[in-house]
Amino acid sequence: MKVIFVLTVSLISSLALAVDYPYPMKLISKSEMNYLTPENTLFSARSCQVAKDLACSDRALTETFLQYSIEFFEDPADRNLLLEFVDNIVFSQIVGNQPFKDGSVIIQVEDTFEDGSIHQMGVPFIQENGLWKVTNQFSADPDFADFLHYVPATSELFDGNKGNSDTNELLRYTAPLNKKIELPVGTSDYTMRIYYGKTIIKAKVK
């Protein structure tokens, strides 16, 4: 019987990993909420945020992260600002899931906002007392920055190749914002900020 049980659990785990990305964010009711997997914790947290239920949202955090959040805001009422960012999201999807450090798992969430901007962030989870919770322990880890991506609204981007819409879908700029830019005398460098399309392979950009 133990062998059958192990095989069954192994089969279920394999099926759980066979997920096609991306897939839409799922909003669930309180009766459906649990913290048994990183995905369930994410769905629970986002559903609480949409419902403007801060106490409910807090249950998705590790004890350390919750304490940090409480101490960060001088006025406890200001913590409700943490719930407001979801008001301007028009579409949200899960675009990836991968192991990170110290047994953690990062789920990549992509939110599209009303202004057309796209925010992609990694949400890190660790197990605490047998439950998966959102942690802030990697907030200063330089490797974690690889999971943070932002694409401004199209109106904020400069088309480097006027008249060629195909090229502009692949490459736009926020600096410079014009074909010609004047710099102060003595300037030795200038930061160029480039935003490339999703079909571009990041590792090959030089």
State residue 26's pLDDT score: 93
Percent of the chain surpassing pLDDT 70: 68
- Could you say which DSSP state residue 35 is in? -
Question: How far is Cα 183 from Cα 177, in angstroms, rounded to an integer?
Answer: 13
- The answer to whether the pTM exceeds 0.85 is no
pLDDT at residue 11 is higher than 60 = no
- Number of CB atoms found within 10 A of residue 44's CB: 24
Q: Which helix (H) or strand (E) holds 126?
A: strand 118-128
Average pLDDT, the chain: 79
**Residue 171 parent element (H or E):** strand 171-175
More confident call, 130 vs 181: 130
CATH class, domain 20-151, is alpha beta
pLDDT tens digit sequence for 142-196:
898 888 887 776 655 656 656 555 555 555 555 455 566 677 787 777 666 555 5
How do the domains of the chain map onto residue ranges? Answer: 20-151, 157-204
pLDDT of residue 157: 60
